[in-house]
Structure 1
């Protein structure tokens, strides 16, 4: 086995590049407050358990959005579609209206979903764990809406890619 090493001055930069080799989906985590929708994009999402229904996300401790989102009774998670590259960039931005031009829907529990996504999950925070410079958030899933004909957005090597049937 050959291991290719890169000479990077900062171990975090090298590790970020290494992690980028693993393709991920992109999830919008959103809720409604008194001023309108709020949300952010995360690419660290995983299924945890079917019984009880649990998933997890990882959120940077530097996030200014997560503290407000984490207090909501319900969160809407939308697995973004391959057509949502611009939506992902908006939800990841630090400035401006993140929902400008985003077609969204709020349910009765004030969870917000991005329309035309591959999957909607209504969740609540079940627990939190230390994850170094991130917080690992365990989510209880209360409702699932699937859209099986929608291709998901894939993030790989720091850019969006399309899935190809092979």
Structure 2
């Protein structure tokens, strides 16, 4: 393990409407906006200025950026673009990052909050399996109002690992 690497600090999510996304993450998961790097009324950041840094196409623009705090896990950075290159969120078979997982203590309660906030719940909850299997270990996928896939997971029972030398999975500590 590289001691210079601490772990994932944030996950970036492009959304069609910043206010809708902030409201959803707050209502569903208790996320709070830490700061807004760019607010819609401030004017857009053109791709020709930041494209060499973050691969934004030169003909596109960033309309808004918010950084959200979510429990004791990674932060979530939301982006609203002037011209998103896709009109649908990625699905599990797409190349690249397709979802992120939120560790929860009460799967049904958080799934209910997410549904009330506008999420579409997939079939579930489902028992986890293989190395993640164990009594009470379950997950439940949902789609945000704009279609991004989020996994809710709870793992109260110990998991098995491929060998005794395998690193242990890191779970967010309780608040």
**Same fold at TM > 0.5:** no
TM bin, normalised by shorter chain, reads under 0.3
Radius of gyration: which is bigger? Answer: 2
Q: Which has the higher contact order (CA 8 A, sep 6+)?
A: 1
TM-score (norm. length: structure 2): 0.23
For normalisation by structure 1, the TM-score amounts to 0.23
The structure that is strand-richer by fraction is 1
